[in-house]
Structure 1
Amino acid sequence: MSPENHARRTVEQLLAILDLDSTQARTTEDIFTGSSHPMPTGRIYGGQVLAQSLIAAERTLPENRPVHSMHGYFLRPGDASQGITIAVDRIHDGRSFSTRRSQAYQNGVPIFSMIASFQDEDPGVEHAASMPDGIPDPEDLAPDEDRVEGLPPGTARMLSERAADIRHIGHPLYLPSDDERAPRQGVWMRMRAALPDDPRLHRAALAYLSDMTIQESILRAHGVYWALPGLKVASLDHAMWWHRPARVDEWLLYLQESPNARGGRGLASGRIFTRAGDLVASVAQEIMIRVPGSPA
Structure 2
Amino acid sequence: MHTAGDITALLDLRDIGEDRFRGGHRAHSILDKTYGGQLFAQSLVAATRTVDPRREVHAVQVACLEAGRHDQPLDFTVRRNRDGRSFASRTVEATQQGRVLVQLHASFHVREQGLHHAPAMPVAPGPDGLPDLFDMMREHSALPHAAWRREWDGVDLRYVPESLERSRREQQGRQQVWIRVGDRLPGDPALHRQVLAYLSDVTLLNASLLPHGFLIGAPDLPRATLNHTIWFHDDARADEWLLVDQHSPWAGGARGLSFAEVFSTDGRHVASFAQEGLIRPRGDLRREYGWDGPVAGPADAAADS
TM-score computed with the length of structure 1 as normaliser: 0.89
Over aligned residues, Cα RMSD in angstroms?
A: 2.1
> How has the CA–CA distance of structure 1 residues 232 and 152 changed in structure 2, closer, same or farther, with 3 Å as cutoff?
closer
> How has the CA–CA distance of structure 1 residues 266 and 153 changed in structure 2, closer, same or farther, with 3 Å as cutoff?
closer
> How has the CA–CA distance of structure 1 residues 279 and 194 changed in structure 2, closer, same or farther, with 3 Å as cutoff?
same
Check whether the contact 1:265–1:289 (CA below 8 A) recurs between aligned residues: yes
For the residues of structure 1 that align with 2:162 and 2:45, how far apart are their CA atoms? 33
Q: Does 1:78 align with 2:72?
A: no
How far residue 245 of structure 1 moved from its aligned partner, in angstroms, is 0.3
Partner residue of 1:18 out of 11, 26, 38: 11
Check whether the contact 2:163–2:176 (CA below 8 A) recurs between aligned residues: no
How far residue 185 of structure 1 moved from its aligned partner, in angstroms, is 0.3
Q: Does 1:167 align with 2:152?
A: no
Q: Does 1:33 align with 2:22?
A: yes
For the residues of structure 2 that align with 1:171 and 1:212, how far apart are their CA atoms? 20
For the residues of structure 2 that align with 1:217 and 1:73, how far apart are their CA atoms? 20
Partner residue of 1:136 out of 125, 130, 137: 125
> How has the CA–CA distance of structure 1 residues 60 and 100 changed in structure 2, closer, same or farther, with 3 Å as cutoff?
same
AA in 2 matched with 1:136? P
Q: Identity of counterpart residues, as a percentage?
A: 39
For the residues of structure 2 that align with 1:264 and 1:147, how far apart are their CA atoms? 25
Alignment of 1:53-72 (within 5 A): 53-72=43-62
Aligned to 1:3: none
Aligned to 2:302: none
Partner residue of 2:220 out of 196, 208, 230: 230
Aligned to 2:97: 107
Q: Which runs of 5+ in 2 are unaligned?
A: 295-305
Check whether the contact 1:148–1:172 (CA below 8 A) recurs between aligned residues: no
CA offsets, 1:100-133, max 9 Å, x none? Answer: 0011011111100011100000111011011112
Q: Does 1:127 align with 2:120?
A: no
Q: Does 1:267 align with 2:262?
A: no
Q: Does 1:246 align with 2:236?
A: yes
> How has the CA–CA distance of structure 1 residues 245 and 86 changed in structure 2, closer, same or farther, with 3 Å as cutoff?
same
How far residue 156 of structure 1 moved from its aligned partner, in angstroms, is 2.2
How far residue 225 of structure 1 moved from its aligned partner, in angstroms, is 4.6
Check whether the contact 1:128–1:279 (CA below 8 A) recurs between aligned residues: yes
Check whether the contact 1:144–1:172 (CA below 8 A) recurs between aligned residues: no
Partner residue of 2:186 out of 193, 196, 200: 196
AA in 1 matched with 2:132? P
How far residue 258 of structure 1 moved from its aligned partner, in angstroms, is 0.6
Check whether the contact 2:174–2:247 (CA below 8 A) recurs between aligned residues: yes
> How has the CA–CA distance of structure 1 residues 241 and 286 changed in structure 2, closer, same or farther, with 3 Å as cutoff?
same
How far residue 15 of structure 1 moved from its aligned partner, in angstroms, is 1.1
Matched position secondary structure for 1:202: helix
For the residues of structure 2 that align with 1:250 and 1:236, how far apart are their CA atoms? 29
For the residues of structure 1 that align with 2:105 and 2:130, how far apart are their CA atoms? 37
For the residues of structure 1 that align with 2:245 and 2:198, how far apart are their CA atoms? 16
AA in 2 matched with 1:143? D
Could you list the structure 1 runs, at least 4 aligned residues long, displaced by more than 6 angstroms after superposition.
150-153
> How has the CA–CA distance of structure 1 residues 167 and 253 changed in structure 2, closer, same or farther, with 3 Å as cutoff?
same
Check whether the contact 1:266–1:289 (CA below 8 A) recurs between aligned residues: yes
How far residue 153 of structure 1 moved from its aligned partner, in angstroms, is 8.3
How far residue 164 of structure 1 moved from its aligned partner, in angstroms, is 1.1
How far residue 172 of structure 1 moved from its aligned partner, in angstroms, is 11
Partner residue of 1:276 out of 266, 285, 289: 266
How far residue 155 of structure 1 moved from its aligned partner, in angstroms, is 4.7
How far residue 228 of structure 1 moved from its aligned partner, in angstroms, is 2.2
For the residues of structure 1 that align with 2:59 and 2:143, how far apart are their CA atoms? 37
For the residues of structure 2 that align with 1:21 and 1:154, how far apart are their CA atoms? 34
Check whether the contact 1:40–1:155 (CA below 8 A) recurs between aligned residues: no
CA offsets, 1:223-257, max 9 Å, x none? Answer: 12555242121110001110000001000000000
